Structure 1
Amino acid sequence: MKKAIIALIFVIAIGGIFLTLKIDGEKSITEEQSFDVEEIKELELNIESWDIALENTEFDKLTIKFNSKQQQKKQSNPVEIKKDGNKVKVLQQDTEKGAMKNLSFGKKATIHISIPNNAVSKIALKNSYGDIKINNIETEELTISTDSGAKIIKGLSAVKGTITSTDGELSIVDSSLNELTIAATNGDSYITRVNSLKTKITSTNGEVLMKEISEGKALFVETASGDITISYKEAPTSLELIANSESSDISVNLEGYQKEEHTEQLKKGKIGDASNKLELISNEGIITVK
């Protein structure tokens, strides 16, 4: 028993020394860069593990800033920011090597980017492991490609939005787009109060829940495994509906809906002159339209 206590004290002491050395050996890196919006048309981000926050600003400059702690011996800047013609590029790569590279001891940092309304026509964002938050951004085209991590988008206004996700939950709220495309491998997709003329959502494994949406020209949702729920803010007035589920569990509750073909696995019908289209497919999942 005495040996065990001594061993425990020894381990704690060594741990204390290690932590002290680690704290003493760290330095804080803070950087902020601003660009005149007249000179910038595109923003390109390639981020390995840090979180990303894009938000609106009333100022007339695009501003990028971050703060992180690095080991004193690591003199290289963890984030590279550069201007290439009318494009601003942001690159973040982890500095750990070997066995420590894939170990995570909590969030490292967040890259904050402030963008004036319609200042950037194209935003391309690639993130491997961090979370993404977008708040009140206006742009012509937004492209997001991520391996894992949560994606929270609020108040987006865009002509075209494309989101490709391998893993992680997606949430889009109070946004407006002419065209929205989502391709998810694993992870649920929650779409609330989003206006989109043309929407296409495909998911291998995950629920797709669309609430308080507006009737658009075309809405297509397909899941290999996962429920699909479509809830309109106001009753559609001109809609062609096709819902197909191999689980034979489909529910349609829309005002003015007229059945054309109804079987256990297929529900087909229309509202009005059916100038808009809603097509839903789920191999293993419940489909609900209301």
Structure 2
Amino acid sequence: MKKLIAASLVLAAVCGLVIACQGIGKQTFKHETSFEASLIKEIEIHNESWDIELKHTDSPNITIACVGKRQDNESDPVTISHDGNKIVIAQEDQGGMGGFTFSKKGTVYISIPDHTVDAIALNNDAGDIRMKHVAVQNLVMINESGSQLLEGLSADKVEFMTNDGELQLKDSSLNELTVTSGSGDSYITGVTSPLMNIASTAGEVSVKEIEEGKRLRVETESGDIGVSYAKPPASIKLAANSSTSDISVNLDGFKEQRRTDNAVAGTIGNASHSLELSSHTGTITVK
């Protein structure tokens, strides 16, 4: 017991020393730059650990502001380059224990006028992503472990690829949505999109208060699936499969055509739109 206590005290002391050492020599890093939005068609972001916040602006310019910390002898932790009609933002960690940090060092703020940028591509390692009232043609987000919160997004085609991070998408209008998730949960609320395709390995998928679209397909390996409509759908062909045999469908006008231990199928109206749900070990609820 004494050896265990001693080892714990040593570990705590080492951790405290490392954290204290990381605080020594830090200085504030601030940088801001603007670009005429009419000249920019694409924004590409590569982020290691800082938070990223994208938002709407009424200004005719795209503005990028970086606020955070860096070590005295470090080069700039965020670089911004402009090549033709493309902006590239790169945040790279330096120093520390092989790049490992005990806390996030800063935030990159990006303000974008509506419908000026054709494409945003964001490759994120460990930072959290926030996006509010952004209008863009195409959005691709590749996320390793940070959380993602997007609200009021307007876009033609959106794709999220996440390994281990939570996704929340709220009150948005999209023509096509694709979500591929590893172990993170996906919460889609108040989203209008004719085409949704959501696949998860181990996370819960919740699609709430949505408008009836042409096709909604959700598949999980082990997570539960929940779907609810803002108003009763008028024309749906539903097919739900779950190995747990726990499938609940509570929709006005739903005519059940087939039910087995693992599947439910049926229609509403002339069944011109499709709802396909599949979970290998999770429950399925539709209302």
Q: TM-score, normalised by structure 2?
A: 0.92
Name the structure 2 match of 1:91.
Answer: 90
1:167-221 deviations in Å (ceiling 9; x for gaps): 0111000001010000000111111100010000000001101111110000000
The whole-number CA distance in structure 2 between the counterparts of 1:202 and 1:21 is 40
Cα–Cα, structure 1 residues 21 and 238, in superposed 2: closer, same or farther, change >3 Å? closer
1:237 aligned to 218, 229, 234, which one? Answer: 234
Deviation at 1:101, TM superposition (A): 2.5
**Partner of residue 283, structure 1:** 280
Q: Which residue is 2:192 aligned to? A: 195
Of 174-183 and 256-265, deviating more is 256-265
In structure 2, C-alpha distance between the alignment counterparts of 1:66 and 1:178, rounded to whole Å: 32
Q: Measured at CA, do residues 252 and 28 of structure 1 come closer, stay the same or move farther in structure 2, by a change above 3 Å?
A: same
Q: Contact 1:117–1:137 (CA<8 Å) still a contact in 2?
A: yes
Give the match for residue 73 of structure 2. Answer: 73
Separation (CA, whole Å) in 1 of partners of 2:23 and 2:89: 28
Equivalence for 1:123: 120
Q: Does 1:51 align with 2:51?
A: yes
Q: CA deviation at 1:62?
A: 0.2
The question of 1:256 aligning with 2:259 is answered no
Corresponding residue for residue 4 of structure 1: none
Report how far residue 105 of structure 1 moved.
Answer: 1.9
Q: Which runs of 5+ in 1 are unaligned?
A: 1-7
Shift of 1:21: 9.6
Does the C-alpha gap of structure 1 residues 117 and 21 become closer, same or farther in structure 2, counting only changes over 3 Å?
A: closer
Alpha-carbon distance in structure 1 between the residues aligned to 2:279 and 2:26: 51
State the match for 1:38 in structure 2.
38
**What letter is aligned with 1:169?**
E
Cα contact 1:63–1:115 (8 A) shared by 2:
yes
- Kept after mapping to 1: 8 A contact 2:43/2:117: yes
Question: Counterpart of 1:231 in 2: which secondary structure?
Answer: strand
Shift of 1:236: 0.4
Residue 169 of structure 2, aligned match among 154, 169, 172: 172
SS in 1 for 2:221: strand
The answer to whether the 8 A contact 1:136-1:155 is kept is yes
Q: Secondary structure at the match of 1:196?
A: coil
CA distance in 1, matches of 2:23, 2:112: 36
1:35-55 superposed Cα distances (whole Å, 9 cap, x missing partner): 001110100001111110000
Q: 1:202 to 1:73 in 2, by over 3 A?
A: same
Shift of 1:26: 2.4
Structure 1 residues 65 and 258: alpha-carbon distance in aligned structure 2, compared to 1, 3 A threshold: same
Decide whether the 8 Å contact of 1:244 with 1:282 is kept in 2: yes
Deviation at 1:262, TM superposition (A): 1.1
Q: Distance in 1 between matches of 2:33 and 2:202?
A: 40
Q: Does 1:215 find its partner at 2:239?
A: no
Question: Which of 1 and 2 has greater Rg?
Answer: 1
Q: Say if 1:94 and 1:101, in contact at 8 Å, map to a contact too.
A: no
Say how many residue pairs are matched.
274
**Aligned counterparts of 1:279 and 1:102: Cα–Cα separation in 2:** 43
SS in 2 for 1:243: strand
Structure 2: distance between partners of 1:45 and 1:213: 30
Deviations 1:130-178 (A, max 9, x none): 1100100001100000100100010000000000000011100000101
The one-letter amino acid paired with 1:89 is V
> Match for residue 227 of structure 1?
224
TM-superposed deviation, 1:121: 1.0
The answer to whether the Cα contact below 8 Å between 2:188 and 2:208 also exists between their aligned partners in 1 is yes
For the aligned residues, what is the CA RMSD? 1.8
Structure 1 SS opposite 2:193 = strand
* Aligned residues of 1:189 and 1:208 also touching (Cα < 8 A): yes
Give the corresponding residue for 1:134: 131
The aligned counterpart of 2:3 is none
For 1:172 and 1:21, the matched residues in 2 are separated by: 35
Q: Deviations over 1:246-277 (max 9, x none)?
A: 11110011001111111121100000100000
* Alignment counterpart, residue 102 of structure 2, candidates 82, 100, 105: 105
* 1:3 paired residue number: none
User: Is the CA contact (8 Å cut-off) linking 1:178 and 1:196 kept in structure 2?
Assistant: yes
Matching residue's letter, 2:176: E
Deviations 1:40-81 (A, max 9, x none): 01000011111100001111100001122222122x111110
